[in-house]
Structure 1
């Protein structure tokens, strides 16, 4: 059983030589993942790896429909709403062990529906499995979920080009991005980066990040979409999510009392 003190402090998990730090009061984000003492995530209150829920990416003009109702969300990335409310929320620690922990928060304003979000972390010596679930208490509503990790481009402060992370993935398609940063609805052949783009992987997300001579990390997920963002010098983002940007409008997935939404992703690594 958690206490008030548990809610305020960071949560640390360990397995083998892997160490994970979670910040429940800062959006239940992963603040740090260290393997053999080496940090893999960009540091800072806005970075690490945060959950995107109850939507992922941008929602056009912050508006979405559910049946005959239109809802307006705050425009936290004008002219759009972006990345959900979970990253700006304090989560409750539901349970914690040496290498696994679970957290929840209650959906509330500005999200117009009631429900619960659950996030589970399971750490081993060579992997981290993350699970997000969204359930409703009453009305059905469209929702999305996913994660936004900021993997370091260079490890241990290196700036050499030959040390930079290499990203390998083979999507079936790329969602064409319009000038408004939303998918146009057209699926195109994958194009070369740099990217701030959504890709379709109908057999599940599968991407590999390789720091030459150091570490290989695979991102796999039950989700069929991933946004890849590599336009910053410090980090590369591979973001598994249950639908494309603006998906509350274009590819709604209803959460109902008998059909909650769940997404799972695994990061697995090996030394080179």
Structure 2
């Protein structure tokens, strides 16, 4: 049985959510009142183990890029494996690349755990244990993530999620309402090299962007033809990445705890966990009927 076949489905009230614990703890699909809230996955791609083609996957113990797959911490240099094609960087951590173990499940909630105990060369050098909860609470889909430093040394730590949302511009444009203080400008190497005043990101269907924003308010409202999504994040998730590739019927809005390449001095810095300490975050998707179809 493939990782994609070993799925669990949450079905409660208006929600139906399919989760793939063995494929990076990812969500394959999530619908509310029969309409997709997250980008539907292509089953053949899931069968091939392409977790990045899923609807949403967890980010830990860091988000986005660590420049040239290496960093210094507490006087020591660490080398990581570059894990994306044609890029020299380490990207999105290990959570989406590992199988998660199911701890408990019901019709409305699923708890999974991932243990990273004895790092090999090229892997994240610090031991950790992560717990992810996916739960349906009325009209809300709630994702919770906690990372514990189980190493004997203190360690940098970050977390977040990479949810993809569908676009249906033929029916009605999708609009984004949120607030952030600055946008990080990427250089040719796709790493931040400057910051600027955020541009207008309201009209998602015509936007082309792949940038991290700092000073994020922790809430974003995405209004499309079928429903309105209010994404609310806990204070730990103080940054956000907005990704809208050209010509694609989806976008990603990623609530994360730190900016791209934070381990190379981009601020705000990553959290530092002492042995036994934990970092936790929550993302809540609250659904309501779109104003145009009330």
- The answer, yes or no, to whether TM exceeds 0.5 is yes
Deviations 1:151-181 (A, max 9, x none): 1112xxxx51x52322222211112222221
Structure 2 counterpart of 1:196: 210
1:25 is the counterpart of 2:22? yes
Structure 1 counterpart of 2:261: 246
Secondary structure in structure 2 of the residue aligned to 1:87: helix
Structure 2 counterpart of 1:64: 71
**CA-CA distance at 1:231 after TM superposition:** 1.5
CA contact (8 A) 1:135 1:256 kept: no
Secondary structure in structure 2 of the residue aligned to 1:27: coil
Please give the alpha-carbon distance, in whole angstroms, between the structure 2 residues aligned to 1:246 and 1:239: 15
Secondary structure in structure 2 of the residue aligned to 1:61: helix
2:57 aligns with one of 50, 54, 64: 50
Task: Flag the 1:252–1:32 CA change in 2: closer, same or farther, 3 A.
Answer: same
| Paired residues for 1:33-182 under 5 Å | 33-42=30-39, 43-44=41-42, 45=46, 46-77=53-84, 78-107=87-116, 108-109=119-120, 110-137=123-150, 138-154=152-168, 160=170, 162-182=171-191
What stretches of structure 1 of length at least 5 have no aligned partner? 1-5
Secondary structure in structure 1 of the residue aligned to 2:88: coil
Please give the alpha-carbon distance, in whole angstroms, between the structure 1 residues aligned to 2:144 and 2:175: 26
CA contact (8 A) 2:233 2:255 kept: yes
Structure 2 counterpart of 1:265: 283
2:221 aligns with one of 208, 212, 218: 208
**CA-CA distance at 1:34 after TM superposition:** 0.8
CA contact (8 A) 2:133 2:144 kept: yes
CA contact (8 A) 2:185 2:195 kept: yes
* RMSD of aligned residue pairs (Cα, Å): 2.1
Please give the alpha-carbon distance, in whole angstroms, between the structure 1 residues aligned to 2:11 and 2:68: 41
Secondary structure in structure 1 of the residue aligned to 2:263: helix
Deviations 1:229-268 (A, max 9, x none): 0114221110000000111332131122243111111111
Please give the alpha-carbon distance, in whole angstroms, between the structure 1 residues aligned to 2:252 and 2:264: 24
CA contact (8 A) 2:4 2:23 kept: no
Structure 2 counterpart of 1:3: none
Deviations 1:21-73 (A, max 9, x none): 11001100111101111122221332210001111001100112220111111
CA contact (8 A) 2:181 2:214 kept: yes
Please give the alpha-carbon distance, in whole angstroms, between the structure 1 residues aligned to 2:262 and 2:62: 8
Secondary structure in structure 1 of the residue aligned to 2:144: strand
Could you tell which deviates more after superposition, 250-259 or 96-105? 250-259
What stretches of structure 2 of length at least 5 have no aligned partner? 47-52, 201-206
CA contact (8 A) 2:4 2:20 kept: no
Q: How many residues align?
A: 261
Could you tell which deviates more after superposition, 34-43 or 162-171? 162-171
Please give the alpha-carbon distance, in whole angstroms, between the structure 2 residues aligned to 1:177 and 1:228: 13
CA contact (8 A) 1:7 1:93 kept: no
Secondary structure in structure 1 of the residue aligned to 2:96: helix
